[in-house]
């Protein structure tokens, strides 16, 4: 059957609410990876999936087909268990930076394949590229060397071109065709890369709230449960935490600002919510790796995690003592009146940072590593009139006005006491 007819048959079947066969899924993923199925055809199929959904079997087969489109890594030579973490993305979410060296300091190997930011959510690789000399792209052999080094044991890098290449093509297509927000497509995209990278265990941080892709608990639970099942089916021990993303995480939003805040955490300081989530995820990762007799809080307190961070940065060409980029311009937004902060909207703060140049509109756009926002208050804080709420960091004065306009709509100051919501909302396991 000609590819056009096959693609049309697959699109039509899903458009009409049918369940795709294993053969149809295998064929369309392989054909799209090889370029036989055109972008517009896969875009039509992705939109049909958004509208019609997928069964549990279809999602599992779709994920397996994307894994099979490339190579699958493994680390049999390591003398320690491997465990990774993935976040679905949020505002101020710099947790990978302190988390990877912390877990390595506690005895696990952390092969962390990360991505770049798009829109209002930041990317781990963009943050780390704020560090002079740091390199995101590593050859597989070099990645193994770093993981095997007893003084390091953690690596944060970009996925190679041979790792789930079908997902790489499909992810870029979904971003420009309005088909990102689909649980089957999100779950298969995340898990195809994580399973292909060869880790034995995985902890998922599924964000919930205004600054996340999942706006409500029910959809977040569905996504988490789907990914946990996909991991378990492939022999990867997987658990998910649902964590709050209505307000930004920590005080820093923006690449170099978030690196600096991560170093504070590794030095035994930093915002309480960042420390809390880092330790919660570290404990889950160590448990999934079978390490039960080490408290990660001790590795933060005694400097072991900081030592791993410095070694990890150096191993990837970076200089941990080098000055981070700083913006030429700072603008402050202050409280117009006294009261209690009722809301700090993560989505608007993230969008304001993006407007300042901290994010990108399209894949491949340049970003300003120095741009970003310091968030000085959290819901429940009492403020005085004139007290700073935000500090904007920018290199281009013409960008500040639009960002300020968004930030002025991002907060509410009232009179009623506010009880902050918990950071960890739920835990999902098989």
Which residues participate in catalysis according to the annotation? Answer: 86, 167, 174, 189, 193
- Which H/E stretch holds residue 112? strand 110-114
Whose structure tokens read 């009722």? 342
Output b/e per residue, 367-387; b: 16+ Cβ within 10 A: bbbbbbbbbbbbbebebeeee
Which one, of 80, 109, 130, lies nearest residue 327 by Cα? 130
Decide: helix, strand or coil at residue 412: strand
- Tokens of residue 81, six digits: 């268990």
Q: Which residues 6+ apart lie within 8 Å of 167 measured at CB?
A: 66, 69, 188, 189, 192, 193
Q: How far is CA 5 from CA 47, 245, 352, 390, in A?
A: 18, 44, 46, 56
DSSP conformational letter for 379: T
Q: How far is CA 285 from CA 100, 232, 239, in A?
A: 10, 15, 9
Q: How far is CA 332 from CA 32, 228, 244, 371, 389, in A?
A: 49, 43, 26, 14, 8
Q: What is the Cα–Cα distance from 361 to 425, expressed in whole angstroms?
A: 31
Q: What is the Cα–Cα distance from 290 to 311, expressed in whole angstroms?
A: 24
């Amino acid at each position: 059957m000609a590819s056009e007819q096959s693609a049309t048959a697959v699109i039509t079947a899903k458009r009409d609410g049918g369940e795709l066969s294993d053969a149809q899924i295998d064929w369309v993923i392989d054909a799209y990876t090889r370029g036989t199925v055109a972008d517009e055809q896969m875009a039509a199929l992705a939109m049909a999936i958004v509208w019609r959904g997928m069964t549990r079997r279809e999602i599992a087969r779709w994920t397996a087909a994307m894994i099979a489109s490339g190579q699958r890594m493994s680390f049999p030579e390591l003398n320690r268990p491997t465990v990774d973490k993935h976040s679905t993305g949020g505002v101020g979410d710099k947790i990978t930076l302190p988390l990877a060296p912390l877990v390595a300091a506690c005895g696990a190997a952390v092969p962390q394949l990360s991505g770049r930011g798009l829109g209002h959510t930041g990317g781990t690789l963009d943050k780390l590229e704020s560090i002079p000399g740091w390199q995101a792209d590593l050859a597989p052999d070099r990645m193994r060397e770093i993981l095997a080094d007893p003084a390091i044991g953690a690596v944060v890098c970009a996925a190679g071109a041979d790792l789930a290449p079908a997902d790489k093509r499909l992810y870029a297509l979904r971003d420009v065709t309005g088909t990102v927000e689909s649980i089957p497509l999100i779950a298969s995209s995340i898990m195809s890369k994580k399973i292909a990278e060869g880790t034995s265990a995985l902890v998922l941080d599924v964000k919930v709230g205004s600054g996340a892709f999942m706006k409500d608990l029910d959809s977040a639970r569905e996504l988490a449960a789907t990914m946990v099942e996909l991991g378990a089916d492939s022999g990867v021990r997987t658990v998910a935490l649902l964590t709050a993303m209505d307000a930004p995480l920590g005080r820093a939003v923006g690449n170099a600002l978030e690196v600096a805040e991560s170093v504070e955490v590794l030095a035994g300081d930093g915002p309480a919510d960042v420390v809390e989530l880092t330790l919660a995820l570290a404990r889950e990762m160590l448990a999934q790796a079978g390490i039960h007799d080490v408290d990660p809080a001790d590795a933060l307190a005694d400097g072991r995690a900081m030592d791993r961070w410095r070694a990890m940065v150096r191993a990837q060409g970076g200089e941990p003592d080098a000055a981070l980029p700083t913006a030429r311009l700072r603008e402050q937004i202050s409280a117009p009146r006294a009261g209690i902060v009722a809301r700090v909207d993560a989505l608007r703060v993230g969008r304001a940072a993006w407007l300042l140049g901290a994010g990108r509109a399209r894949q491949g756009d340049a970003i300003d590593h120095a741009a970003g926002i310091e968030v000085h208050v959290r819901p429940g804080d009492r403020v005085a009139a004139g007290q700073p709420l935000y500090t904007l960091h920018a290199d281009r004065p013409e960008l500040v006005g639009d960002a300020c306009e968004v930030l002025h709509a991002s907060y509410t100051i009232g009179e009623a006491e506010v009880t902050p919501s918990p950071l960890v909302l739920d835990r999902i396991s098989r």
